[in-house]
Structure 1
Amino acid sequence: MALVFYARVSSKGQNLDRQLARVNEVKADKIFTDKQSGKDLNRPGLERMFEYIREGDIVEVVSLDRLSRDYNDIQHLVQRLKDKKVKLIVDDLPQTNTGNELVDQFMLDMMVNLMGFVAQNERTKILERQRQGIAEAKRKGVYKGRPKKYAAQSKNREGRLVYEKVYDAIMSGNYKSKAQLAREVGLSRQQLYRIINRINDQNK
Structure 2
Amino acid sequence: MTRVAIYVRVSKEQQSYTRQVKELTAYSKSRGYKVAKVIAEKISGARNNKDRGGIQELVEMVRQQEVSKVLVSEVSRLGRKTSEVLQVLEELTEQGVSVYVQNFNMETLNPDGSRNPIAQFLFTILAEFARMERESLIQRINSGLAEAKRKGIRLGRKPGSVVPPAKSLAKYKDVVQLLQEGKTIREAAAICKVGTATVLKVKKTMYSINSN
Contact 1:9 / 1:35 at 8 angstroms: preserved in 2?
Answer: yes
Deviation of the 1:65 alpha carbon:
4.0
Alignment-mate amino acid for residue 6 of structure 1? I
Q: Deviations over 1:26-64 (max 9, x none)?
A: 111342112322546313852553244279x33333333
Cα pair 1:63 1:92 within 8 Å, conserved? yes
Gaps of 5+ in 2: 45-50, 164-212
Provide the rounded CA distance (Å) in 2 between the counterparts of 1:104 and 1:116.
18
Cα offset for 1:107? 2.4
- Provide closer, same or farther for how the CA distance between residues 69 and 103 of structure 1 changes in structure 2, counting only shifts above 3 A: same
SS at match of 1:82: helix
1:117 aligns with 2:128: yes
Q: Structure 2 vs 1, CA of residues 13 and 41 (structure 1 numbering), >3 Å: closer, same or farther?
A: same
Structure 1 equivalent of residue 38 of structure 2: 33
Q: CA deviation at 1:93?
A: 1.8
Deviation per residue, 1:89-140 (Å, 9 max, x gap): 22222344795779963223222322333233223423433454355456xx
Moved more, 7-16 or 57-66: 7-16
Go from structure 1 to structure 2 and tell me whether the alpha carbon gap of 1:148 and 1:59 turns closer, same or farther (over 3 Å shift). Answer: same
Aligned with 2:58 (options 17, 24, 46): 46
TM-score computed with the length of structure 2 as normaliser: 0.50
Change (3 A) 1:64 1:127: closer
TM-score under structure 1 length normalisation: 0.52
What residue identity is the alignment partner of 1:113? T
What residue in structure 2 maps to residue 23 of structure 1?
A: 28
Equivalent pairs counted in the alignment come to 148
CA separation of 1:41 and 1:103: change in aligned 2, threshold 3 A: same
Segment of structure 1 superposing worse, 42-51 or 107-116: 42-51
CA contact (8 A) 1:5 1:32 kept: yes
Q: Quick one: which amino acid aligns to residue 2 of structure 2? A: A
Q: CA deviation at 1:25?
A: 0.4
Letter in 2 for 1:46: L
Equivalent pair of 1:41/1:73 in contact (CA under 8 Å): no
Query: Which residue of structure 2 lines up, in the alignment, with residue 2 of structure 1?
Result: 2
